[in-house]
Structure 1
Amino acid sequence: MISLHAASRLVSAPPRRSGATALRGLSVVMLSFALAACSGVEESSLTATPRNVSRPVTTSNSEYAYVTNNADATVSAYLINRSAGALTPVAGSPFALAGDPNSIAVNPAGTFAYVTNAFYNAISIYSINATTGALTLVGQSISPGYVPGEDDLSKIVVNPAGTFAYVIDSSAKTISVYSINATTGMLTLAGKPVSTKAYSHAIALNPAGTFAYVVHGNDRAVSIYSINSTTGALTPVGVRVATGNSPNSIVVNPAGTFAYVVNGNDNTVSAYSINGATGALTPVGGKVATGNWPNSIAVNPAGTFAYVTNYNDNTVSAYSINGATGALTPVTGSPFATGKNPIDVKATGTFAYVTNVNSNTVSAYRINATTGALSLIGNFFAGSKPNFIVVAHSHK
């Protein structure tokens, strides 16, 4: 899962605002969080259609999608229709951010969202209204590696227990560990940042929350860390494992048995088996071809299919996963058309969602449970330059 990072990591990075502008944005956000609702409707094709005004939505046990919009410093929030897959903007969407957003993560309970912001290296913390899906800013956490005017915080993930958050600071070449207050959602730095000794692009945790995997684009490698369940601390284990050229995204399957890395300059995916006891990675077969400049990879909750966005091809590649070996096989009909320059992809049990940075849309697809093939449901308006997308499950 990826964001709009520096050009060495992604060809898709949009223009950034100045650090001063971002800091002014912080003041605005801290003074007022109310915005006019952003309109967004399903499009009948990849061409934008007139927008409708979003309406308040009230429901329980809902699924919401949140999309970071890099150029206008907002997060778009949507209610997911659990039978049709369509996206409906929630009341108040989009929600203002301070600085240009990179990555977004939600806790497993679906009660808090965390957004990394460029230039002043802050993590914005939002509470999620379980009934409406609306976001309310509750605080900020400044990275210990803050360098004014630099775009550093590239990725944030929350562990499966919802007790710790892990943040990559690419320029500082560190990973910061934060404890999460279960009541307030606030973050507290837990110890000193861990040096990665390399420019890092992405991080993924195994489902047990016992190992972390960090991708280093310039070094063409993945580092492995064990996770202390009490303190959240990271400890390097084993040796770095080779990837392809310019790896920029990594995912671990739901069973914690396989990991997959997309290699941007190779136009490939690397597959690895995971040793459950040591966390060690072992390559599975050869690299598998993708489209042109793969950006992000997701695995569906059943662990049966994988999906890769191809930035330069305007497509998403789909693969079936061999449950015994982890090997990937392209599904019939793959790749499938997206909007212009797809960035991130998320696969739920029935649907897949792709952000299209230069269409300012989110493409929604229905997943064929038997074949893994994608059928376009529609394209839905986002803000300007959408990049990351995350799905939250409310538990009212």
Structure 2
Amino acid sequence: MLVVRQRQLKSDREIDNDSGATGKFARWRHNDNIILFVSDKLKKCQQVLSVRVKYKSKYSNIELPTQINKTDGYHRQCYSSFTALMAKYRDSSSETDYASNSTSLTLSPSTPVDISETVLRNVTQSSYSEVASSKDVAPSSNNQSISRHPDLDFNRETSSENAASNLDSQTTLEDVASSSTCDLSINETNVFNEIPDTNIEDIGKERQLKNVCFFCDKDRKQNKDIPHTSWHENRNIHKYIFNHIVSTVEEVLQKKNCVLLSSLCDTYNHYLEYEQKLDPQSDISLITNHYLEEKIQKHFKKSIKFISKQKKKIIIHKDCSLLENDFTRLEEDNLIDKVALTLRNAILKIEKSKLPLKIKTHDLITGECVILDKLNRFFKVLMG
């Protein structure tokens, strides 16, 4: 099983596919920290990228940083997958050894050794031995403070060496004792000495920066600039209208009511016609009851059920039953909805004319449009 798993992982790395260049990077769960680029790693990635671009292989559309900074980095798995090339690609490149992943350095025999630390340690150790051998030195307050200090215990060799590493070759223990009245210990002093001279504003800017992986970061995918076509426009329109239908069905289910499928389909097509009026060049086609039924069933799954009555389908809650009065009410509601949608379409098709800048009484009486006969008739019947 282990051998099969290793072969599978190896084959996953070496498969080259032109589609989905960053899909494999996005599927990983990156819980590990992001490693910032260094010169040798960035150079290796650039060489691997040139090979991938040459052969139009997978991950050839990755955009690497041009220089090293404090934000751009990589995950270990992303780096391993990107730099893993097939054998035929590795053989074709003689400039880079892609099988080598080691970045450790070894000292050569000719490397010069800094002996300042050794000389300093010898000098300070001799100073300690001279003071320790002297038995006639009278105890003082300074010496007592030294003996009580945890970081200056003469009985511990490591503590004396750490303290001596911060001293000058000519510094005596008396000078150390006089400086021991400070609240900071030698170890704390070492920490402060290691802090570089950095501007506080720069530190605040660095804290605001976010490290990103150049291989799997969503903002760096090349498919972020997909051209927006008419197909995308139609998809967004259908998505918006269907969300409105879903809200209507959810309200019906909460109240344990029912609704006609044909009424929802008429509402859906009404919004489609309105969108087509706004953009006459758009290729928008109306939907059928069967198409809307499948979409609603797929969205709500088993929380609803469809009941057929008099060749009409009714959407109802799964735990409810349809009564005779419910069907009569649904037909009346459907008739009201059709009248409202008809008047709405007629109103939206009215041509408007802007009023002049200098408005007169006649302009106010005429208005910007002519009232339709359908609308006048509706209000006459409504008002009696």
TM-score range normalised by the length of the shorter chain:
under 0.3
TM-score by length of 2: 0.18
Larger radius of gyration: 2
The answer to which structure has the higher strand fraction is 1
Between 1 and 2, higher relative CO (CA 8 Å, sep ≥ 6) is seen in 1
The answer to which structure has the higher helix fraction is 2
